[in-house]
Amino acid sequence: MKMEEVENLVENSIKEIQDKGYTQIQYESALKWAARAVAAYRLSVSAELSGIALGFYEMGNSFFDEALEHAGIIESGKLVDAFSQLISEEKAKAYDALVNEPEITEEEIQQEEQAAEVEAPAEETKQPEEDSNEKS
């Protein structure tokens, strides 16, 4: 990031603080983190690989914590309650998708390995060329 970009962010932040004030900024931050949590849980449900799904699930948990922290700063119980219900529903869906994922079979593992071999064939080992100056 260039210094000019940082200065622009600082100037925008000064304007935001002057225009909105602390409470409004914390309120908006709580809502943004709550929306990110819901988005991460939804991405977890739609992820095709369990490792990626788990990553999105953990991201959602982290974002949920941030949302609670910002709502707590302004002591808004109503805000916490409002988005806690929505986030909890999305979190439950993501959790169910993780724990109810069908077990992968040995045949599916072999198919995945074969597909990976086709996509990235093993490099052929090249024999070093003999030096024509070498005497036998």
- How do the domains of the chain map onto residue ranges? 22-102
pLDDT band at 113; cut points 50, 70, 90: confident
pTM attached to this predicted model: 0.67
Cα–Cα distance, 87 to 81 (Å, whole number): 10
Query: Within 10 Å of residue 84's Cβ, how many Cβ atoms?
Result: 17
Tell me the per-residue pLDDT of 27-80, one tens digit each, with 9 for 90 and over. 999 999 999 999 999 999 998 888 888 999 999 999 999 998 998 888 877 887
Cα–Cα distance, 21 to 101 (Å, whole number): 46
Q: Which stretches within 21-136 are classed as H helix?
A: 22-46, 50-73, 77-99, 106-119
